[in-house]
A = this chain, B = another copy of it.
Amino acid sequence: MCELLGMSANVPTDICFSFSGLRARGGRTGPHKDGWGMAMYRDGDVWTIHDPRPSADSDIAEVISHNSLKCDIVISHIRQANVGGVCLLNTHPFSRLLWGKTWSYAHNGQLEDVSALPIERHHPLGSTDSERAFCWIIEQLQARLGEDEPSLDDISTVLSELALQLKGRGVFNMMLSDGARLYCFCTTKLHWITRRAPFKKATLSDEDVIIDFKEVTTDKDVVTVIATQPLTQDEMWSQMEEGELCVFEGGEVVCQIKAN
Total count of chain A residues near the partner, CB < 8 A: 28
Known contacts A59-B69, A96-B125, A125-B96; decide if A88 and B47 are in contact (CB<8 Å): yes
Residue of A70, A88, A126 with highest tally of chain B CB at under 10 A:
A88
Majority DSSP secondary structure for residues of A touching B: mixed
Considering the complex, give the chain B residue whose CB is closest to the CB of A97: B89
Which residues of chain A (28-53) have a CB below 8 Å from chain B? Answer: 40, 45-53
Q: How far is the CB of A146 from chain B (nearest CB, A)?
A: 20
Considering the complex, give the chain B residue whose CB is closest to the CB of A63: B67
- Alpha-carbon gap, A169 to B67, bound state (A): 43
Q: Are B97 and A46 in contact (CB under 8 A)?
A: no
Q: Are A48 and B125 in contact (CB under 8 A)?
A: no
Number of this chain's copies in the assembly equals: 2
Known contacts A60-B69, A63-B67; decide if A88 and B48 are in contact (CB<8 Å): yes
Tell which of B45, B53, B88, B123 touches A52, judged by Cβ atoms closer than 8 Å: B45
- Alpha-carbon gap, A51 to B45, bound state (A): 8
Q: How far is the CB of A78 from chain B (nearest CB, A)?
A: 14
- Alpha-carbon gap, A52 to B64, bound state (A): 18
Which residues of chain A (130-162) have a CB below 8 Å from chain B? Answer: none
A66-90: contact bitstring with B at CB < 8 Å (1 yes, 0 no)?
Answer: 0101100000000000000001110
- A-B pairs with beta carbons under 8 Å apart, 17 shown: A40-B60, A45-B52, A47-B49, A47-B51, A48-B48, A48-B50, A48-B51, A59-B69, A59-B70, A60-B69, A63-B63, A67-B67, A87-B97, A87-B102, A88-B102, A89-B95, A97-B125
Beyond the given pairs A49-B60, A63-B63, 11 more chain A to chain B contacts, judged by CB atoms under 8 angstroms and listed by A's residue number, are A45-B51, A46-B52, A46-B88, A47-B51, A47-B88, A48-B49, A48-B50, A59-B69, A59-B70, A67-B67, A95-B125
- Alpha-carbon gap, A95 to B69, bound state (A): 25
Q: How far is the CB of A147 from chain B (nearest CB, A)?
A: 16
Q: How far is the CB of A157 from chain B (nearest CB, A)?
A: 27
Chain B residues with CB below 8 A from A89, complex form: 95-97, 102
Q: How far is the CB of A115 from chain B (nearest CB, A)?
A: 16
Chain B residues with CB below 8 A from A46, complex form: 52, 88
